[in-house]
């Protein structure tokens, strides 16, 4: 389902976890980000790309290696893949693939394409690395903390912030790498936003926003959440109030509490 569209940017949103997939028309090339994730949703994106492609090169950007974000890779076999160096050097590439296979088995899902770990052509190793795709300039920032291989991208012109699993309006921070890294990443993202060049925020889950007020609020909420974890505040009631699906993510919150406590030692 398309949830956002302007002249050059289209954002699809999956029914599952409100996961987003983004298509950017960069004039002489196309840039696709995290295509996913149910089979018919991937098909919809495939058809969309095929309809507008006109022989143009296709670039595929992965924000991180969580299985829900790489699940559509095999549907775009001729794409040039961009991801972080840590993504490229994932020590256990079979793990997310197994999660995809397990998921598909559990829900009797068939896919018309192979399940593969993305083969990366452009591996980003440093903050501030840039890459030109068509008429767009991409600037990359390493974003560990959610996973160790996260990548946040700013795309100009347009001031588009492709945030991966950060700054969601439906999820508090999910700390699957480590607390300290997540905190540093949020501070890095805050700096990018405070630079004043961001006009559109595309999170990996939830709603796209072009409201500066909303973007700032999401940053502040993440910072506040991380602080409350560290201070071992009981914020469950506030989280339940703020996040419609909190009961479904409560275990992740409890995991976060343990992660934050680790760093206190």
Task: Give me the residues that bind Zn ion (CB under 5 A), please.
Answer: 66, 165, 204
Least distance from Zn ion to the Cβ atom of residue 51, Å: 27
Least distance from Zn ion to the Cβ atom of residue 59, Å: 20
> Which of 37/141 has CB closer to Zn ion?
37
> Which of 25/68 has CB closer to Zn ion?
68
Burial class (CB in 10 A: 0-12, 13-18, 19+), 218: buried
> Which of 221/252 has CB closer to Zn ion?
252
What distance lies between CA 21 and its chain's CA centroid? 9
Least distance from Zn ion to the Cβ atom of residue 66, Å: 5
Residue nearest to Zn ion (CB): 165
Least distance from Zn ion to the Cβ atom of residue 86, Å: 16
Reduced to 3 states, what is the DSSP secondary structure of residue 156? strand
Q: What is the DSSP string of 189-254?
A: HHHHHHTT---EEEESBS--B--HHHHHHHHHHHHHHHHHHHTT---HHHHHHH-TTHHHHHHHHH
> Which of 63/88 has CB closer to Zn ion?
63
């Amino acid at each position: 389902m398309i949830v956002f569209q302007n002249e050059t940017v289209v954002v699809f949103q999956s029914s599952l976890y409100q996961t987003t997939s983004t298509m950017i028309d960069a004039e002489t090339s196309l840039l696709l980000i995290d295509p996913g994730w149910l089979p018919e949703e991937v098909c919809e994106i495939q058809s969309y790309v095929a309809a507008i492609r006109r022989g143009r090169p296709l670039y595929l950007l992965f924000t991180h290696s969580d299985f829900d974000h790489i699940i559509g890779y095999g549907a775009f076999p001729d794409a040039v893949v961009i991801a972080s160096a840590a993504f490229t050097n994932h020590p256990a590439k079979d793990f997310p693939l197994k999660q995809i296979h397990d998921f598909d088995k559990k829900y009797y899902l068939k896919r018309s394409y192979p399940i593969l770990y993305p083969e990366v052509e452009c591996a980003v190793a440093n903050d501030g690395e840039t890459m030109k795709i068509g008429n767009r300039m991409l600037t990359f920032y390493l974003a560990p903390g959610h996973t160790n291989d996260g990548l946040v991208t700013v795309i100009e012109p347009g001031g588009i912030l492709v945030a991966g699993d950060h700054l969601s309006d439906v999820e508090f921070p999910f700390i699957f790498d480590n607390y300290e890294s997540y905190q540093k990443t949020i501070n890095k993202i805050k700096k990018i936003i405070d630079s004043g060049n961001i006009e559109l925020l595309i999170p990996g889950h939830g709603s796209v926003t072009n409201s500066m007020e909303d973007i700032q609020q999401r940053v502040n909420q993440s910072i506040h959440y991380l602080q409350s974890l560290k201070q071992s505040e009981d914020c469950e009631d506030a989280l339940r109030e703020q996040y419609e699906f909190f009961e479904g993510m409560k275990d992740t919150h409890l995991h976060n509490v343990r992660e934050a406590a680790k760093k206190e030692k």
